[in-house]
Amino acid sequence: MLIHENYSLKELNTFHIDASAHYFVEVASLEDIQEILSDKKKSAAKKLILGGGSNLLFTKNVEGIVIKNNLKGISLVKEDKDYYYVKAGAGEVWHQLVMHCINNNYAGLENLSLIPGNVGASPMQNIGAYGTEIKDSFYELEAFHLNTKTVTTFNNADCKFGYRESVFKQELKNQFIITSVTFRLNKIPDFNISYGAVEAELEEMGINQLSIQAISKAVCNIRNSKLPNPAEIGNAGSFFKNPEIPQTLFLRLKNEFPTIVGYKLENGNIKLAAGWLIEQCGWKGKRVGDAGVHTLQALVLVNYANAKGNEIFDLSEKIMSSVKEKFGVELEREVNII
């Protein structure tokens, strides 16, 4: 196992920010992790666990050690009359896992097709799209504690899932390396086409008989038409969370801005479309140097060529400030800032 010094991370983050790691190592097994942490100097260093690099923005070089999680493997570990239980290594590419499940008729992840990143990040972020979140099909995960050097199993409740949140982004942040995730997937599909764009795309595709394959294809079509490919232009997908506000504030905003987009939540609050708010403030398609807002989706910030992380961060600050000034609504970043 080779430990690199002053290692470039440019090709390991989807923003393509040119940052470097003081130390960098790739791990492919639990034994690799244990070996790294047996080195007192490396064990004491500050650690950053890197997966697909699809949900972070480097604003500086990384001191300490970056550990690239490459634990692989997908297997059906058990089944009962209703469910398949599929276990995947944290280093597996997320979309490849989704395709594996679809090809085997394991239902539940189809709405999450084409989300960038690796499996290990999916429960950390409680990733979601088109009416579905990871928590809906999550069964358990295994994670290695960096200090006690023991493996712990977390069930759904243990993870404290919220909107793009989990215990691993809050009280347990930077304490664990997720090594595997197990999903509970339906034998009989429970199709979710509640999201209008999915239903419209299925109609456009001429689909008369619903299937998880058709829903996955529809989601891929929508994402490809709206979101830039990180391989072609640096980005991390949605940069901001959709804000949640009280219904009283929404009614006041609706009176002033009749076309405002909002969805009622079970708790009575209203979830706003952050992209709509940003677009109304005039940011869609705007470019400042090599940092910019995507021309088709205002929720996505992009690196056109050689933007520095701080330039993208500063752009996000200006966007947040203008939304606050115009609507009295505070945006929150979905992307992790390093």
Tokens encoding 15 = 């923003």
Could you confirm whether 325 is annotated as catalytic? no
Beta-bridged to residue 284, according to DSSP, are: none
Spot the catalytic one: 122, 137, 166, 238. Answer: 238
Measured distance CA(216)–CA(201) in Å, rounded? 11
DSSP character at residue 136: G
DSSP H stretches of helix in the chain: 30-38, 40-44, 94-103, 121-125, 156-159, 196-204, 212-226, 247-256, 274-280, 309-327
Could you confirm whether 238 is annotated as catalytic? yes
Could you confirm whether 317 is annotated as catalytic? no
Q: CB within 8 A of 95, min separation 6: which ones?
A: 113, 114, 115, 116
Which residue reads 């280093």 in tokens? 91
Spot the catalytic one: 164, 184, 311, 316. Answer: 164
Measured distance CA(73)–CA(89) in Å, rounded? 5
How many CA atoms does the CB half-sphere of 265 hold within 13 Å?
15
Task: Just list the catalytic residues.
Answer: 164, 238, 334
